[in-house]
């Protein structure tokens, strides 16, 4: 039994913080990494779970001193040499696909681009004013209702609607669904969401957005930028949305429920919604000097500057320079004063934040510039992140199921002392 004094509201200082050094995860698929030395200790507390190790994973290294790696492959190699499809396959299946596996994977994704009548009806009935993140969350729910995961056979390969099929279904369908909804409400057009069978997810997305017809080439630099951004966004260990996905999965719930959980969690501006919020901020400034003056005032009044900082990275986000270069190249290729100014404003903000706060841009900051220069509507920025991260979420769902334990932490009670609270009937209150 706890003593009476311990049942009273607990000050944070009275609570011990878990003393573990973040180290490498236990497994990768080839078991090359040592197991972290994590000893379960007394109950501990860390606000926002900062620094807490909440599981083991063989999927990704973030902030371990080894750089950002997916299944052991460095992000720089992946972004330079692999398409999003190769990366998605790597995350979900644990190895890079060979040519045949990649072709099969791409044709499977392509086969899911035709939207079912039930999805179309619902997309048409959603308001034109819906936030696109709500549209994607709804799409995940609709598919989860019309083509539910086969819970009896969820881990059996070859079974329709197993976890791999269900994951692929979502990765392939999110983009076409979003763009069907967009064009229907913008111009009343019911677009054909099927493009060429060999199109990548990025090609399909840009073609449907720009409404280029087969045979008519969309802008290759834009497709390349979107594809690389998908690779960068695909996975990031236990980011809030991935942790949320694993919590839902740990209750033995289905994949679609876990992904709707993730979409809801990603939407907030402290997580995925930061790319949309960062663009709203950047676009407020007419030029770099105005950006500098306004930013200084914002810092003085202790405002949070979207697109800067990170829970895990404290000395820089390895994805940031890649996406900054994409933004720079697109800006100079487009070549207009507007595009150049947008990049200059963003770069000045980066310089001011480094000079004043020693803070660095995270992936979301320059991704916002890239997406804007690709003519992607601002409220589609976080949905594009969803398309990419679904591959990481699915990988984590599969992994969670391989060694599941219900995730159920406890809290430090800070409410009224039950011994001092007496229940009064309604008539007495
Ligand atoms: C990502 C984020 C939530 C991480 O937060 P965290 O690990 O909890 O760090 P904290 O909020 O405790 O910040 C530590 C300090 O840095 C400051 N800080 C962190 N991010 C900041 C930002 N973007 N702008 C201004 N100050 C910031 C905090 O105000 C705090 O200052 P203090 O010690 O004087 O109070 C935070 O950096 C943030 O809000 N960034 C903006 C949103 C964003 O870009 N999210 C996408 C992340 S990939």
Whole-number pLDDT of residue 64: 85
Annotated active-site residue 280? The verdict is no
Domain made up of 85-268+383-402: CATH architecture: Orthogonal Bundle (1.10)
If you compute the radius of gyration of the chain from its CA atoms, what whole number of angstroms results? 23
For domain 274-373, give the CATH number.
1.10.230.10
pTM score: 0.91
Angle at 57 between CA 398 and CA 242, to 5 degrees: 65
Is the pLDDT score of 51 beyond 80?
Answer: yes
Of 144-153, 256-265, 382-391, 392-401, give the lowest mean pLDDT range: 144-153
Q: Are 245 and 393 in contact (CB under 8 A)?
A: yes
| Domain limits, the chain | 1-54+408-429, 85-268+383-402, 274-373
Which ligand 1 atom is the nearest neighbour of the CA of 48? Answer: 8
Residue 74 three-state SS: strand
Task: Please give the Cα distance from 361 to 180 (Å, whole number).
Answer: 33
Residue 137 three-state SS: helix
Which ligand 1 atom is the nearest neighbour of the CA of 317? Answer: 48
Exactly one of 310, 317, 372, 396 is catalytic; name it: 310
Whole-number pLDDT of residue 152: 82
Distance of CA 142 to the CA centre of its chain: 20
* Topology alike, domains 85-268+383-402 and 274-373: no
Residues in the chain: 429
Ligand 1: does its nearest atom lie under 6 Å from the Cβ of 317?
no
Average pLDDT, the chain: 90
Q: Which residue minimizes the CA distance to atom 7 of ligand 1?
A: 311
Exactly one of 168, 227, 317, 364 is catalytic; name it: 364
Q: How far is the CA of 114 from the centre of ligand 1 (A)?
A: 41
pLDDT band of 17, cuts 50, 70, 90: very low
Q: How far is the CA of 52 from the centre of ligand 1 (A)?
A: 18
Q: How far apart are the first and last CA of the chain?
A: 32
Is the pLDDT score of 2 beyond 50?
Answer: no
Mean pLDDT throughout 366-373? 98
pLDDT band of 65, cuts 50, 70, 90: confident
Stated as kind and residue range, the H or E segment containing 17 is none
Task: Please give the Cα distance from 332 to 324 (Å, whole number).
Answer: 12
Give the closest residue to 352 by CA, choosing from 295, 418, 309, 422: 295
Whole-number pLDDT of residue 201: 98
pLDDT band of 3, cuts 50, 70, 90: very low
Ligand 1: does its nearest atom lie under 6 Å from the Cβ of 364?
yes
Q: What is the DSSP track for 75-93? A: HHHHHHH--HHHHHHHHHH
Ligand 1: does its nearest atom lie under 6 Å from the Cβ of 274?
yes
pLDDT band of 258, cuts 50, 70, 90: very high
Is the pLDDT score of 204 beyond 70?
Answer: yes
Is the pLDDT score of 93 beyond 70?
Answer: yes
DSSP label at residue 73: E
How many helices (H) and strands (E) the chain has is answered by 17, 3
Whole-number pLDDT of residue 38: 63
Ligand 1: does its nearest atom lie under 6 Å from the Cβ of 122?
no
Whole-number pLDDT of residue 40: 62
Ligand 1: does its nearest atom lie under 6 Å from the Cβ of 356?
no
Q: How far is the CA of 277 from the centre of ligand 1 (A)?
A: 14
Whole-number pLDDT of residue 8: 33
Annotated active-site residue 310? The verdict is yes
pLDDT tens for residues 289-332? 999 999 999 999 999 999 999 999 988 999 999 999 999 999 99
Whole-number pLDDT of residue 111: 96
Whole-number Cα distances in Å, 253 to 51, 99, 257, 406: 27, 34, 7, 11
CA atoms within 13 A on the CB side of 203: 18
Q: Is the dihedral of CA 408, 413, 417, 422 positive or negative?
A: negative
pLDDT tens for residues 139-171? 999 999 999 998 888 777 777 789 999 999 999
């Amino acid at each position: 039994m706890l003593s009476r004094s311990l049942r009273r509201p607990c000050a944070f200082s009275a609570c011990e913080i878990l003393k573990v050094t973040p180290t490498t995860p236990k497994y990768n698929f080839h078991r090359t990494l040592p197991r972290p030395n994590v000893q379960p200790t007394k109950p501990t507390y860390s606000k926002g779970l900062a620094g807490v190790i909440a599981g083991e994973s063989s999927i990704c290294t973030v902030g371990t001193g080894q750089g950002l790696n997916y299944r052991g492959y460095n992000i720089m190699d992946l972004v330079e040499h692999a398409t999003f499809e190769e990366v998605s396959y790597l995350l979900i299946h644990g190895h890079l696909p060979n040519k045949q596996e990649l072709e099969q994977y791409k044709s499977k994704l392509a086969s899911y681009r035709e939207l079912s009548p039930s999805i179309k009806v619902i997309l048409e009935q959603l308001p034109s004013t819906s936030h696109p993140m709500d549209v994607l969350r709804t799409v995940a729910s609709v598919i989860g209702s019309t083509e539910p995961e086969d819970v009896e056979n969820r881990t059996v390969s070859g079974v329709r609607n197993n976890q791999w099929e269900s994951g692929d279904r979502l990765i392939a369908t999110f983009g076409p669904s979003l763009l069907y909804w967009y064009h229907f409400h913008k111009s009343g057009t019911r677009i054909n969401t099927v493009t060429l069978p060999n199109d990548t997810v990025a090609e399909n997305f840009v073609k449907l957005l720009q409404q280029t017809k087969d045979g008519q080439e969309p802008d290759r630099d834009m497709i390349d930028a979107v594809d690389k951004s998908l690779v960068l966004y695909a996975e990031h260990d236990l980011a809030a949305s991935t942790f949320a996905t694993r919590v839902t999965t740990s209750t033995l719930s289905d994949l679609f429920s876990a992904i709707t959980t993730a979409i809801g969690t990603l939407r907030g501006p402290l997580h995925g919604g930061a790319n949309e919020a960062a663009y709203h901020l950047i676009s407020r400034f007419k030029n770099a000097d105005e950006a500098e003056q306004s930013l200084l005032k914002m810092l003085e009044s202790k405002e949070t500057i979207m697109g800067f900082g990170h829970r895990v990275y404290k000395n820089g986000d390895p994805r940031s320079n890649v996406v900054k270069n994409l933004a720079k190249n697109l800006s100079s290729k487009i070549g207009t004063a507007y595009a150049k100014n947008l990049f200059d404003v963003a770069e000045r903000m980066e310089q001011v934040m480094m000079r004043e706060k020693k803070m660095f841009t995270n992936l979301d900051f320059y991704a916002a510039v890239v997406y804007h220069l690709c003519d992607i509507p601002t409220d589609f920025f976080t949905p594009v992140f969803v398309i990419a991260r679904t591959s990481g979420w699915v990988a984590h769902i599969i992994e969670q199921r391989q060694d599941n334990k219900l995730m159920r932490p406890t809290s430090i009670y800070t409410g009224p002392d039950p011994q001092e609270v007496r229940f009064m009937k309604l008539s007495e209150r």
